[in-house]
Amino acid sequence: MIVTIWGSRGSLPSPSPENSLYGGNTACVQVSQGDTLLVLDAGSGIRRLGDDFPPGITKVDILLTHLHLDHIMGLGFFMPLYLPDMTVNIWGPTSTKESLDTRLKRYLSPPLFPIRLQDLPCQPHVFEINHSEFEIGPFKIKSAYVCHPGPTLGYRIENGRSVVTYLPDHEPALGSSNFPNEPDWTSGYDLAQGADLLLHDAQFAKEEYLPRVGWGHSSVNDALKFAKLAEVKKMLLFHHDPSHSDAKLRTLLKGETERQRFPFEVGIAAEGDVLELS
């Protein structure tokens, strides 16, 4: 499978000369194999994927982790939605309050957006999932709720040879005085266990996290502890804070890797990264 990062920023698009290396677009990751194309989240990065959409593909599955704006703001700018012959499936979390369809329409309708979800030429199909297992093409997909405000899913995607886990907004240390805990008591562990590649929330420096406990995000330090607990092979820090420049991100990671050695490869997710897992 090929994993392409179209947006690795969190919370708000943050284009600036200081962010040009890791990018300013919000969460969007393409996972593809052959004719099967999955899109993880529809942040502002999805626009470039739409403009660069591979020719000959007639079906796309968009897997939303949750409906915070930084994960859906690009949806209306995704070119394949305007192709009548394109099959578009949108998957996302169940809520006890409103259907996924209704919640998406709150954004994709006036006054927030000029075109209504139901008027899009592709006529998208909307599917609600929670703790679910399903297959799309060669991929076996597992979704589960993870620790983040509001109904939020993480995803584990396997193709029989490799595993990628996507936890862009995740605070597994919340409520724990001794993180990491036992695996069975750790949010997201089942999704990440043994993954070849983990994309994980690493929004804050340690000192930034303390006054923001409960906001749903992790410090770089906690993200690395989680990756170690899950025994992943490679981890990329994801959901970078809008205020973190390229230099700040590098300093944060360097501080951690100088303090301790990690039994896995670790890096910083950058817009434009293409990773082949085999």
Q: How many CA atoms lie less than 13 Å away from 119 in the CB half-sphere? A: 9
Stretch that binds Zn ion, among 5-13, 220-228, 250-258, 270-278 (CB under 5 A): 5-13
Nearest distance, CB of residue 164 and Zn ion, angstroms = 18
- Residue 40 has φ and ψ, to the nearest 5°, of -95, 110
Q: Which residues of 31-55 are buried (b: 16+ CB within 10 A; e: fewer)?
A: bbbeebbbbbbbbbbbbbbbeebee
Close Cβ partners of 251 (under 8 Å, ≥ 6 residues apart): none
Q: Read off the tokens for 112.
A: 């927030």
Nearest distance, CB of residue 159 and Zn ion, angstroms = 26
Write down the residue that tokens 């915070």 correspond to.
68
Helix (H) or strand (E) holding 89: strand 87-93
DSSP letter for 76, please. Answer: G
Neighbours of 72 (CB within 10 A): 25
Nearest distance, CB of residue 216 and Zn ion, angstroms = 6
Nearest distance, CB of residue 35 and Zn ion, angstroms = 29
If the CB atoms of residues 10 and 45 are measured against Zn ion, the closer one turns out to be 10
If the CB atoms of residues 10 and 76 are measured against Zn ion, the closer one turns out to be 10
Stretch that binds Zn ion, among 3-11, 51-59, 113-121, 220-228 (CB under 5 A): 3-11
Among 169, 196, 222, 256, binds Zn ion (CB under 5 A): 169
* Residue in 228, 212, 234, 146 with CA at minimum distance from that of residue 180: 228
Stretch that binds Zn ion, among 93-101, 164-172, 173-181, 242-250 (CB under 5 A): 164-172
The residue at minimum Cβ distance from Zn ion is: 68
Nearest distance, CB of residue 68 and Zn ion, angstroms = 3
Distance separating alpha carbons of residues 113 and 110, to the nearest angstrom = 5
Stretch that binds Zn ion, among 28-36, 112-120, 125-133, 167-175 (CB under 5 A): 167-175
Rule CB under 5 A: is residue 217 a binding residue for Zn ion? no
Q: Read off the tokens for 278.
A: 């085999």
Nearest distance, CB of residue 43 and Zn ion, angstroms = 8
Query: Footprint of Zn ion on residues 42-81 (CB under 5 A)?
Result: 68, 70
Nearest distance, CB of residue 9 and Zn ion, angstroms = 9
Nearest distance, CB of residue 278 and Zn ion, angstroms = 29
Stretch that binds Zn ion, among 76-84, 109-117, 169-177, 191-199 (CB under 5 A): 169-177
If the CB atoms of residues 169 and 256 are measured against Zn ion, the closer one turns out to be 169
Query: CB–CB of 165/153 below 8 Å?
Result: no
Write down the residue that tokens 């060669």 correspond to.
138
Write down the residue that tokens 């939020």 correspond to.
152
Stretch that binds Zn ion, among 1-9, 29-37, 52-60, 165-173 (CB under 5 A): 165-173
Size of site (CB under 5 A) for Zn ion: 4
Residues forming a β-bridge with 156: 142, 165
Distance separating alpha carbons of residues 131 and 164, to the nearest angstrom = 17
Which residues form the interface with Zn ion (CB under 5 A)? 10, 68, 70, 169
